[in-house]
Amino acid sequence: MQELSMNVLDIAQNSVAAGAPLTRITLEIDHAAGWQTLTVADNGKGMSPELAARVTDPFCTSRKSRKVGLGLPFLKMAAEMTGGEMTLESQEGVGTTVTARFRLGHIDLMPLGDMAATIAGLMQCNPDKDFVYTLRVDGEAFTADSREMKQILGGEVSLAEPSVALFIRQFIEENSAPLLDKGEEAL
């Protein structure tokens, strides 16, 4: 995975598979401190302490369909390559939080990728689940919350509708761009 958005997709889909009704995805960029932090938190079934301790081993997975799980090991490696770190906190019956910190400006910092398409895709493919995406750049924030979108649409229109997913993607792009552009100016 060479873009952060693909890591978000992988982790969030694991949250959905763990039965999480709500997944919070937060991307914080702090130019003054020199860090980019990604946090994905869910209220799914969580992991046992034994599994949580082994989950960054590429040959450890909770899935039955294949014998390797590379998403978290790759994310950890990507964070560490920039001088950052990845942490995982999980409690059975409560949920899991994955946090990855990346040093801004490092040559190995992976690009963000198409975060708007990733978040819109998660909402479209999992309309019965809720996602809250927050982008915070140097203290200014934008949030896209599927619960609010569902309330506005009412029960008659699903987030799975292609035109709705396109609108969500454009909404996220239009509101993220000024924050990301401002952040680029800070460099």
Say whether pLDDT at 67 is over 50: no
Q: Is the pLDDT of residue 20 over 60?
A: yes
Residue with tokens 């895709």: 121
Average pLDDT of span 30-39: 97
- Segment among 70-74, 94-98, 106-110, 180-184 with least mean pLDDT: 180-184
Question: Distance (Å, rounded) from C-alpha 76 to C-alpha 58?
Answer: 11
> pLDDT, tens digit, for every residue of 102-125?
999 999 999 999 999 999 999 999
Residue 79: per-residue pLDDT: 97
Q: What is the residue extent of each domain of the chain?
A: 4-186
- How much is the average pLDDT of 44-49? 92
CA–CA gap between residue 98 and residue 75 (Å, rounded): 10
Q: Does the pLDDT of residue 64 top 80, yes or no?
A: no
CA distance 14 to 36: 22
Q: Supply the pLDDT for residue 156.
A: 85
> Quick check: 68 pLDDT over 50?
no
- Topology given in CATH for the domain delimited by 4-186: Heat Shock Protein 90 (3.30.565)
pLDDT confidence of residue 62 = 57
Instruction: Give the global pTM.
Output: 0.91
Encode pLDDT of 156-185 as tens digits.
Answer: 899 999 999 999 999 999 999 999 997 666
